[in-house]
Amino acid sequence: MTQAIDIQKATAAFKALKCKECGAEYELKASHVCEFCFGPLEVSYDYSSLRQTVTRESIQAGPNSMWRYRKFLPVASENPIDVGTGMTPLVRSQRLARRLGLNQLYIKNDAVNMPTLSFKDRVVSVALTRARELGFTTVSCASTGNLANSTAAIAAHAGLDCCVFIPADLEAGKVLGSLIYSPTLMAVKGNYDQVNRLCSEVANTHGWGFVNINLRPYYSEGSKTLGFEVAEQLGWQLPDHIVAPLASGSLFTKIYKGFNEFVEVGLVEGKPVKFSGAQAEGCSPIAQAFKEDRDFIQPVKPNTIAKSIAIGNPADGIYAVEIAKKTGGSIESVTDAEIIEGIKLLAETEGIFTETAGGTTIAVLKKLVEAGKIDPDETTVVYITGNGLKTQEAVHGYIGEPLTIEAKLDSFEGALERSRTLERLEWQQVLV
């Protein structure tokens, strides 16, 4: 590893790594844990300089990607790795909203994020830009699938060597969705938390840039753009309520940070925003801590189809609990059956096919509405973070079959008649 020279421009707004627990400050190197108290490090900024240099107009004049918010991100380079990531659609929901009885529901759809169809492309774009600035030539990650896809793809684009680690039992689409970019792909016999521990050891011995370990403070900042974009797409306003999936808890805390930064520098008006989080019942350590009003996370062994959010020992879990509490939000969990129903509900009402994490979020949204925890008139944003084509196994057997016919009109007419009869019978059963 060669150390690049200019890792901190005097004109950039990011100033230090700062311990979230004790406040100790560190140089802007590849480091993620406080030497004094072992708390997590976070990037801090000079907001007064941002207030003077950033306007709505200067952002809008930037690229049609997450890099229009470059000044809020911890990179020194004026030419970050921009593959068109971000600026995904914020869809005003009609049919799902009606089905749930909501009047102001929006769907932020990172299932079509560039290049690998999940929000991970945001954090990886920042991490690899920073990795290059810090002189890393090999990048790596511990992943439940989406992160491996994204790291492998963006490393390929940037010409960085890449070695990614996944649990060996991942969905086929996620394995192939990494292999296609020709990284070294390590399939570890174990769950994500075991993969993560192994990667911490490798990070210490190999001098690689692990996007979610030694580069984690930079990496995680990328998720702020999911806050920035929603605020800009709502016409420079914050929503009243957001619902997002919880894996490590990082995404959730960074949307919160993003909203607060926009208020801090005067880009939007401050107002209360409720933060609600979604977990799968088979891996819900954050939801459990929230329900039991604990200030620590009890690690669990994951057992759910929602593999992309199956983190049993979530690094930022306790910060997510804090945010949900102080904003008046909730953290809920749903069963695997509810997750599948959530995937189908979003597809049938909005034409958006999400993976299990998105199914979890929609199912929790429904649960919160039914429990009266979301007011029908609140401007509510639900975050869809990944694409259903990567977890096809999850819905096999739950979505029916095609009607196979001959290429003849009477064969078609017969099949159509049979399917309509079936539909009528199903309706009669519903009515009985």
Token look-up 């800009």 returns 232
Among 190, 207, 376, 414, binds a second copy (CB under 8 A): 190
Interaction of residue 306 with a second copy, rule CB under 8 A: no
Among 5-13, 24-32, 181-189, 371-379, the segment contacting a second copy (CB under 8 A)? 181-189
Provide, rounded to whole angstroms, the least separation between the CB of residue 205 and a second copy: 7
Residues 149-178 contacting a second copy, CB under 8 A:
152-157, 159, 163, 166, 168, 172-173, 175-177
Letters for 29-68 (x = contact with a second copy by CB under 8 A, - = none) are: -----------------------------------xx---
Rounded to 10°, the helix 317-327/250-264 angle is 50
Interaction of residue 95 with a second copy, rule CB under 8 A: yes
Among 30-38, 105-113, 211-219, 330-338, the segment contacting a second copy (CB under 8 A)? 105-113
Inter-residue contact 19 to 7 (CB < 8 Å): no
Residues 237-266 contacting a second copy, CB under 8 A:
none
Among 29-37, 44-52, 278-286, 348-356, the segment contacting a second copy (CB under 8 A)? 348-356
Interaction of residue 359 with a second copy, rule CB under 8 A: no
Among 29-37, 215-223, 253-261, 401-409, the segment contacting a second copy (CB under 8 A)? 401-409
The DSSP-derived string for 307-369 is: GGG--SS-TTHHHHHHHHHHHT--EEEE-HHHHHHHHHHHHHHH---B-HHHHHHHHHHHHHH
Interaction of residue 425 with a second copy, rule CB under 8 A: no
Residues 201-240 contacting a second copy, CB under 8 A:
201-202, 205
Checking 63-69 for CB contacts under 8 A at 24+ apart, the result is: 65/114, 66/122, 66/125, 66/222, 66/225, 66/228, 66/229, 67/125, 69/224, 69/225, 69/228
Interaction of residue 1 with a second copy, rule CB under 8 A: no
Provide, rounded to whole angstroms, the least separation between the CB of residue 73 and a second copy: 18
Among 28-36, 194-202, 219-227, 372-380, the segment contacting a second copy (CB under 8 A)? 194-202
Provide, rounded to whole angstroms, the least separation between the CB of residue 225 and a second copy: 15
Interaction of residue 422 with a second copy, rule CB under 8 A: no
Rounded CA-CA distance 346/26 in Å is 44
Interaction of residue 305 with a second copy, rule CB under 8 A: no
Checking 321-326 for CB contacts under 8 A at 24+ apart, the result is: 321/286, 321/289, 321/290, 321/294, 321/295, 321/297, 323/252, 323/253, 323/256, 323/275, 324/275, 324/276, 324/277, 324/290, 325/290
Rounded CA-CA distance 399/388 in Å is 13
Interaction of residue 371 with a second copy, rule CB under 8 A: no
Rounded CA-CA distance 262/51 in Å is 9
